[in-house]
Structure 1
Amino acid sequence: MNTLQTKVATDTWVVASWDEFIQTCEDPAYKKAKCYYRNGEMRIETMGIGPNHASDNTIIIFAVNLLCTIKGIPVKGLTNGSYQKTGVREAQPDISYYIGERSQFAPTGSAIANLDNVAPPDLAIEVADTSLADDLGEKRLLYEELEVREYWVVDVQKALIIAFAIIANNGSRRITESEILPGLQISLLEEALRRSRDEDQTQVGAWLLTQFQQL
């Protein structure tokens, strides 16, 4: 398959070699797409452009950063950062975080984070509008294999967050409270998302500030 001459189906998993995947990702036609690779298949995903998707992305980043600032938790966040295990897998979560002492090990520079040389993030977050089924399915398996510690899926349409703790070599399990951000109830973040539908982000931020100060 010559991906530079053949249009690749987007938003679905397509059988491809690693070289074909890399060639496709480098094609200018997919400059604004997100790229995933797992188990001999690639997914070229069109990025969400709806206002609710963009707003939820902003609210989640603000909330995590605010909580860590208030609690004095070292943190390094990346938006649309790519993580690659050469020849094996690649993921590009909407948001990812290195938390606590591991924040000092977050990748830097302009190249894709090579997991042969750097540790995976503690937290990976996908903001899902039209990609929910895949985020909960194939991509969850991908993040299990990347060995992140937690994986959150934001359901934009329902303003819900499905959160998982990743269990080393044993899959994942649903959680209602973060295990890497102690005391953070997932329901609190969901309430912030719901509020953002009717309130501006300053109002939502003020509400979050009050809630976090009580933790």
Structure 2
Amino acid sequence: MSEPQTQLPTDVWIPASWQEYLQVLTQLQTDKAKSYYYKGHIRLEMPPVSFDHGHDHVVIIFAVSLFATLKGILATGLDTTTFRKTKVQDCQPDVAYYLREYAQTIPTNTGIVNLDRYPAPDLVIEIAKTSLLDDLGTKRSLYEELGVTEYWVVDVQNVQIIAYTMADQGSKRIQESQVLPGLVIAIVEAALRRSRETSQSEVGTWLFSQFQQKDS
């Protein structure tokens, strides 16, 4: 990338040095673009504006937080937060969670989460309306290398969650969360489908009953 000051295309990976990437971020300070850096490439994504993306984003956060609350699992959720390994990787997943002993790992007033100093999140979630193939491909590799424990991709158009457990820089599909034991992915998918036809508060009531049944 020879001219970082020019307008960059979005939703594609562009070759760039780390310094060029930082220059781009400086120019985007007043914008809301999500940014990623991986293997010498930049990817910029403009903020989602679709109803469906924002809608599923809220439902997913509610479902995970409710489950953790009912099961007594310490959890701290983060919305579109920057995680960085200096000169190596940078990412802004839609949702991330630190769980149990790591729930209070990141101190208040932290800006960018420095992964040279702090652990990677236990759970990362990308909401995919137009970025599905990249979320399943390059970003999955990025999160594997960062040391994320579990990764979900929410396929907005097909109302599906593709979930992976990650270890040793590899990943494997799962049907039940490993970081939130007892949370069946199909139940969260069912909540997303219900939310297409009823209010989110009614979906919350349904999820509450489903999670309570798991204890009975």
TM-score interval, normalised by the smaller of the two chains: over 0.9
Aligned position for 1:206: 205
Q: Distance in 2 between matches of 1:127 and 1:115?
A: 22
Worse-matched range after superposition: 105-114 or 138-147: 105-114
Name the amino acid aligned to 2:211.
F
Aligned position for 1:176: 175
Q: Distance in 2 between matches of 1:2 and 1:30?
A: 20
Q: After superposition, what is the alpha-carbon deviation per residue over 1:11-41, rounded to whole angstroms, capped at 9, x for unaligned?
A: 0000000011111122137721100010000
Aligned position for 1:124: 124
- Equivalences, count: 213
Q: Distance in 1 between matches of 2:150 and 2:102?
A: 14
Q: After superposition, what is the alpha-carbon deviation per residue over 1:95-127, rounded to whole angstroms, capped at 9, x for unaligned?
A: 000011111213532421111111110000000
Name the amino acid aligned to 1:151.
Y
Q: Distance in 2 between matches of 1:41 and 1:106?
A: 27
Name the amino acid aligned to 1:57.
H
Q: Kindly indicate whether the alpha-carbon contact (under 8 Å) linking 1:25 and 1:31 is maintained by their aligned counterparts in 2.
A: no
| TM-score normalized by the length of structure 2 | 0.95
Name the amino acid aligned to 2:21.
F
Q: After superposition, what is the alpha-carbon deviation per residue over 1:136-189, rounded to whole angstroms, capped at 9, x for unaligned?
A: 0000000001110000000000110000000124x1000010001011110000
Aligned position for 2:109: 109
Deviation at 1:2, TM superposition (A): 3.2
Name the amino acid aligned to 2:203.
V
Q: Distance in 2 between matches of 1:113 and 1:38?
A: 16
Matches of residues 1-215 of structure 1 in structure 2 within 5 Å? 1-4=2-5, 6-28=6-28, 31-169=31-169, 171-215=170-214
TM-align CA RMSD: 1.2
Identity %: 50
Name the amino acid aligned to 1:78.
L
Change (3 A) 1:107 1:159: farther
Change (3 A) 1:177 1:196: same
Q: Distance in 1 between matches of 2:153 and 2:203?
A: 20
Moved over 4 A (4+): none
Unaligned runs of 5+ residues in structure 1 are: none
Q: Distance in 1 between matches of 2:28 and 2:36?
A: 16
SS at match of 1:213: helix
Q: Distance in 1 between matches of 2:107 and 2:34?
A: 19
SS at match of 2:21: helix
